[in-house]
Amino acid sequence: MIYVGLLFSSIFLGLGIPRSTAQVDTALRPANKETPEKVKVNNIFIIGNEKTKKSIILRELDFTTDYYYDWETFLEIIQADQKKIYNLRLFTSVEITPLITGDEEVEVLITVKERWYILPSLIFNLADRNFAEWWTNQGRDFSRVNYGLRLSHNNVAGRNEKLKFAGQLGFTKALDVQYSKPYIDKNQKHGLAAQFTYYNNKTLAIKSENNKQVFYTAPNEEVLRKNLAAAIRYTYRRSFYNFHFVTLGFNHTWINPLALEQSPNYFQHGSNTLRYLFLTYSFRHDRRDNISYATDGELLVFTATKYGVFFTEELDEVEVNLTANKYFKLSEKFHFNTGLTANWFLSASQPYTLVRGIGYSPNFIRGYELNVIEGQQLYVHKNSFRWKFFDYAFDISRTVPLDQFNTIPIRFYLSANFDHGFVKDRNNIPSNARLANKYLMGYGLGIDMVSFYDSVLRFEYSFNNTGSGNFFFNFKTPF
């Protein structure tokens, strides 16, 4: 996905993005050669938070004042807290420094550098699953591009509230409004979010054949699909790394009868409308050092969704998802990432709007970016061994006086990748039998560039076990 915003010129001029201070071990030990065996924190000072409320930062701290800590344990706590504060995605850098003021006493200084929170930007992205799909399968067709305007406020009132609005034209005409408030209570454990989305299409994927999507456009280019969705989400965060989400939403999809003539079983119940309530529970354990490009930690996500609540005449389905990723930091330059994803539907077949498989984000196997392998069960295991071979921070403060943009580090990683997986298609569709219900494997080399405000560019050449190889270009970290 390509984003072109007001800040995009900084990429061309500045060559990269601010590096996460949270990913670099800060020199936490004070200059004193003698350090105490245990310490008590007297005060916590925060500087640099011109917009962000102090309580949002203090919520991430695993230490408190007037309590004794073993010194080595205290340094480990500080390092972990530094990463948590950075992962709020409110700051370009975070540094926590203990200052020894007595035999067993310290003052703690937290220094942050705030991001630019109001980000108006142009939308310019591909409507297809990935760049390779657009470049090869769709013949680099620029009619399959979305464009529009996005306005995001990522720190409303300084409380990490997020307000986003997007108006989009092009291949998919869409309107999207989102608002999230992470904490609605004094103890900062409960949060709420809401979203409203509308979109329509004149070209529609109606099925897959030979493990590729088949699109249909009406002779007079009539609108083929209209979709309206609204949802509200409740969040509970009892501990630092564990989150619980409950989402209740409504979805209404209308399909042009012309599209149903091409794919009569698109909705499965004989009508050209599909309406349902859905209820989702999700548990998330997130202990990554950087949520945009992790090199250390782990991520565990379990999600169960019931499609069709109370009224199940049009849809009655259950979907279960599991993601388990582990990130090993072998040294400052080398790390190894491994991740398992599984997805299950309980029914033998689903409306095509719910169809999942390898090739649909986020489930893919490198080397199979040009294919979709659809089914009711999938398993994907991804692996990457990475070497950071370039890491440099450019100071452009003489050109750009704004603190949010005057430091532009760039990091490059060389990656060796191996993915494998399997899709179970209970319907055994003959036209997709080449890859469905088969063991799939992909491997290759790539270069990752971590760019402006934690965006990622990936350049990879991958082979698969059918014997084909190709160059692939992606805009997100694989896992």
pLDDT exceeds cutoff 60 at 303: yes
Among 187-201, 325-339, 391-405, name the one with the lowest average pLDDT.
Answer: 391-405
pLDDT exceeds cutoff 50 at 441: yes
Task: Dihedral sign for Cα 398, 390, 340, 206, please.
Answer: positive
Final residue in a domain of this structure, among 97, 114, 131: 114
The string of pLDDT tens digits covering residues 153-172 is: 999 999 999 999 999 999 99
Answer yes or no: do 76 and 130 share one domain. Answer: no
Answer yes or no: do 109 and 140 share one domain. Answer: no
pLDDT of residue 22: 42
Mean per-residue pLDDT, 457-461: 93
Cis previous bond, 264, omega within 30: no
The string of pLDDT tens digits covering residues 43-64 is: 999 999 999 999 999 999 999 9
Answer yes or no: do 163 and 25 share one domain. Answer: no
SS3 call for 384? strand
The Cα–Cα gap between 422 and 377 comes to 8
Final residue in a domain of this structure, among 76, 91, 114: 114
6: Cβ contacts below 8 Å, ≥ 6 apart: 119, 120, 121
Answer yes or no: do 11 and 146 share one domain. Answer: no
Final residue in a domain of this structure, among 81, 114, 147: 114
Answer yes or no: do 285 and 194 share one domain. Answer: yes
The Cα–Cα gap between 253 and 271 comes to 11
pLDDT of residue 57: 96
Answer yes or no: do 164 and 105 share one domain. Answer: no
pLDDT of residue 411: 92
Does a structural domain hold residue 200? yes
Answer yes or no: do 148 and 240 share one domain. Answer: yes
In order, the DSSP letters of 176-229 are EEEEEES--STTS-EEEEEEEEEEEESEEEEEEETTEEEEEE-TT----EEEEE
Mean per-residue pLDDT, 90-98: 93
Does a structural domain hold residue 225? yes
CATH number for the domain including 36?
Answer: 3.10.20.310
The string of pLDDT tens digits covering residues 251-301 is: 999 999 999 999 988 998 888 999 999 999 999 999 999 988 999 999 999
Give the predicted TM-score (pTM) of the model.
0.84
Containing 79, the helix (H) or strand (E) segment is helix 71-86
Does a structural domain hold residue 447? yes
Q: Which residues span the domain enclosing 41? A: 3-114
The more confident residue out of 8 and 354 is 354
Model confidence at 14, pLDDT cuts 50, 70, 90, reads very low
The string of pLDDT tens digits covering residues 417-430 is: 999 999 999 988 89
Does a structural domain hold residue 19? yes
Any idea how long the chain is?
479
pLDDT exceeds cutoff 60 at 13: no
368 exposure class (CB count in 10 Å sphere: 0-12, 13-18, 19+) = buried
Place of tokens 């080595």: 72
Among 54-58, 136-140, 328-332, 423-427, name the one with the lowest average pLDDT.
Answer: 136-140
Model confidence at 392, pLDDT cuts 50, 70, 90, reads confident
Mean per-residue pLDDT, 189-217: 95
Answer yes or no: do 156 and 37 share one domain. Answer: no
Answer yes or no: do 12 and 105 share one domain. Answer: yes
b/e per residue 273-311 (b: at least 16 CB within 10 A) = ebbbbbebebebebbbbbbbbbbbbbbbbebebbbbeee
CATH number for the domain including 326?
Answer: 2.40.160.50
Answer yes or no: do 71 and 200 share one domain. Answer: no
pLDDT exceeds cutoff 70 at 466: yes
Does a structural domain hold residue 479? no
Average model confidence (pLDDT) for the chain? 89
pLDDT of residue 155: 94
b/e per residue 5-33 (b: at least 16 CB within 10 A) = bebeebbeebebbbbbbbbeebeeeeeee
pLDDT of residue 16: 33
Answer yes or no: do 47 and 140 share one domain. Answer: no
Which residues does residue 253 pair with via DSSP β-bridges, in sequence order? 227, 274
Q: What is the number of domains present in the chain?
A: 2
Does a structural domain hold residue 373? yes
Which among 126-140, 224-238, 404-418 has the top mean pLDDT?
A: 224-238
User: Interior CA angle at 451 toward 450 and 457, to 5°?
Assistant: 65
pLDDT of residue 416: 97
Answer yes or no: do 20 and 168 share one domain. Answer: no
Does a structural domain hold residue 236? yes
Kindly state the greatest CA–CA separation across the chain. Answer: 82
The Cα–Cα gap between 250 and 242 comes to 27
pLDDT of residue 417: 97
The Cα–Cα gap between 116 and 328 comes to 31
